[in-house]
Amino acid sequence: MQSSMFFQSADTMSQTVRILHIDSLRGIAVLLMVMVHAAATWNPFSEVQLSILAYVVSGLGGLAAPLFVTLFGWGIVRANLTFQSRLFQFFFFLIAQIAVNLTSPHLFHPFTPGILSLMAIMTLLLPLIFHRKRNSYSKIFVISLSSIIVIQTFLPDLQGTGIWADRVDDASIPIILSNLLLTGTYPLFPWFFFALFGAMISTQPVNDGKSLEISLSVRLALVVGLMYCSITLVYAQFKNILWAHPTEDAVLTFFPANQSFLIASLTGVVLLWILVQRYSMNILSHTGKLSLSIYLMHFIPLTLMRDFEVTHQWGLQTSTLAVLIYTLAWIPTAVLWQRYWPKASVETLLRAIRKSLF
């Protein structure tokens, strides 16, 4: 959920030629994240509801963070930053995480680890992993996925419970470290997996503006993933249980991210990447170029309007409409922002700081 991660690393935009479909993917990622947070804020129900809104947010919205982290991994390896620049980015992410938490007291505590803190760790860790020969990257990815599935299978309690209060707790340093590494909202395990996937994609040559080669292995993986999603969905319907939900007992759970979620979300990320590469979505590139700014800013209106569904007694339809309007409103906002105030952004500020320091 955070910072300039959907990007090519915090600020490699000024150093490389922008790739249109990457900006569009960033735009999709930040819009999905806005949708998830808006739906969590304007939820008229206190219990799980088998509604269209619940399935859209749990299913499609569940791709926001995986896509974010994948794009971050894609960018941080391509950036080839110096150690000093990566160290600066590490502390920037940590500070930005605290800033996000402070602007969203209805969701987080001040020192709750999140996506930004995950990005901070991966900023230092990924370049150490991906300094080997290119032909070893796929092996690293496959070994990592296999290891995650084995660990989750034999140590099911390692990632904590689905209780939101526990996953955002910051009562002590040991709790913060536990949530940062294993039991939080976006802990290092198993979320580093998506960054590894993005880093693996980044090693492919960019031909005709494309960074994901649709090889036979990719097609096969996509087919297997879609079949797995279909089978688990039918199974959930047959057993009359939830298929996907952020925290409740379901086949796919987001908090913690279980094996089914990892497979389904990776499939979704690959499918989105292929679709955006193939079909032009230029309008979303403006949103992608301001993904960091939009991410940091979108919490403020939500915090100010967090009680609207109670105060105005919103039902499901009104809440759904409010979430949709608030999410899509960022598209024209980004277009106007880029046209009239292109330099008034966190991205520009970050570039200026990096240039002055390094």
State phi, psi for 272 to the nearest 5 degrees. Answer: -60, -45
Q: Are strands 250-253 and 242-245 parallel, antiparallel or unpaired?
A: parallel
Cα of 355 vs its chain's centroid, Å: 27
Give the pLDDT confidence score for residue 52 in this predicted structure: 59
Q: Measured in Å, how far apart are the chain's first and last C-alpha atoms?
A: 27
pLDDT at residue number 128: 83
Rounded Cα distance between 148 and 254, Å, is 15
Segment-wise mean pLDDT, segments of 10 residues, the chain, 358 residues: 41 56 93 90 63 63 91 87 89 94 91 96 88 67 90 92 92 97 96 91 68 74 92 92 80 91 93 87 91 93 89 84 93 95 90 83
pLDDT at 246: 77
Instruction: Return the pLDDT at 72.
Output: 92
Residue owning tokens 């340093």: 173
Find out whether 196 and 73 touch, Cβ atoms under 8 Å.
yes
Assess contact for 154 and 147: CB atoms under 8 A: no
Range of the domain at 84: 3-211+282-357
Listed in sequence order, the residues at least 6 apart from 35 whose beta carbon sits closer than 8 Å to its beta carbon are: 57, 60, 61, 64, 323, 324, 327
Q: Is residue 233 part of a domain?
A: no
Cα(76)–Cα(4) distance, rounded to whole angstroms? 10
In a domain, 124, yes or no: yes
Q: Is residue 219 part of a domain?
A: no
The 10 Å CB-count burial string (b at 16+, else e) for 293-306 is bbbbbbbeebeeeb
- Does residue 244 lie in a domain region? no
H helical segments located in 163-258: 164-167, 173-178, 188-202, 216-239
Reference 266, options 180, 182, 203, 198; nearest CA is 198
Dist. CA 79–CA 233, nearest whole Å: 39
Number of domains comprising the chain: 1
Please report whether residue 68 resides in a domain. Answer: yes
**What is residue 343's three-state secondary structure?**
coil
Cα 43-112-248 angle, rounded to 5 deg: 40
User: What HEC string does 294-317 produce?
Assistant: HHHHHHHHHHHCCCHHHHCCCCHH
Question: Tokens for 113?
Answer: 């680890």
> Per the domain annotation, does 15 fall within a domain?
yes
342 belongs to a structural domain: yes
- Altogether, the residues listed in the chain come to a count of 358
Q: For residues 37 and 299, is the Cβ–Cβ distance under 8 A?
A: yes
Answer whether residue 166 is part of any domain. Answer: yes
Number of H helices, E strands in the chain: 17, 2
